[in-house]
Amino acid sequence: MADSTTAVPEPRRHDTREAILFGGVYGSVLACSMVAALTQYGHTSQDSRRYDAVWLLVTALASALAHGYAHYIAERAPHRRWDALRVLADEWPLVTAVLPTVAILAGAGWGWWPANGVEYPAFTLNIVLLFALGLVTARWSHRSWPVAVLTGLVDALLGVIVVVANAIIK
């Protein structure tokens, strides 16, 4: 029988850099995928772009919730009262990574720029974000500049794959 004074172990916390890389890459690829899916049918009105922005944000929040919950359940250890909220809060990089794309779509919906063709700047932004995340995290890990650039290029390739797949599917 366990002693009631036995402390519940602290669940494994993800390193901030690890969380930023994972969440940033996941969020940027998610944003590319969602923009591709939402623009597949050619809806380019301001109303549809505002809808797209909201839908992307809801999808990012749901993805963060699902991922955080999966981490919480996967630990298979006794949990303290607020561990679930802490694990969910650790998913902030995923949601943060989609916010620039949400802003691009919302801006098109509010008439700040043309609603038609806004997916191309969104794709470009996310590919640049993927490259930057790969480069920065590789440098954080003390990788050489050539390796860091290669890592950034590989991360950016994820976004390019989504864009190419979207073009082929259309």
Structural domain includes residue 5: no
Provide the pLDDT confidence category of residue 152 given band limits of 50, 70 and 90. very high
What the block records as the tokens of 40 is 């597949």
Structural domain includes residue 56: yes
**68: CB partners within 8 A, 6+ apart:** 84, 87, 88, 89, 90, 91
- Tell me the C-alpha distance between 122 and 128, whole Å: 10
Structural domain includes residue 52: yes
Cα–Cα nearest to 96, from 60, 125, 66? 60
State pLDDT tens for residues 18-34: 778 888 889 999 999 88
State pLDDT tens for residues 79-127: 677 776 777 788 899 999 999 999 999 999 999 999 998 989 999 999 9
Domain count, the chain: 1
Backbone φ/ψ region at 15: left (φ over 0), alpha (ψ -120 to 50), beta: beta
Structural domain includes residue 135: yes
State pLDDT tens for residues 30-75: 999 888 888 776 678 899 999 999 999 999 999 998 988 887 778 7
Cα–Cα nearest to 64, from 98, 39, 115? 98
Structural domain includes residue 85: yes
Per-residue model confidence (pLDDT) at position 79 = 66
Structural domain includes residue 2: no
Structural domain includes residue 26: yes
Structural domain includes residue 9: no
Q: How many percent of the chain have pLDDT more than 90?
A: 46
Range(s) of the domain holding residue 47: 16-169
Backbone φ/ψ region at 101: left (φ over 0), alpha (ψ -120 to 50), beta: alpha
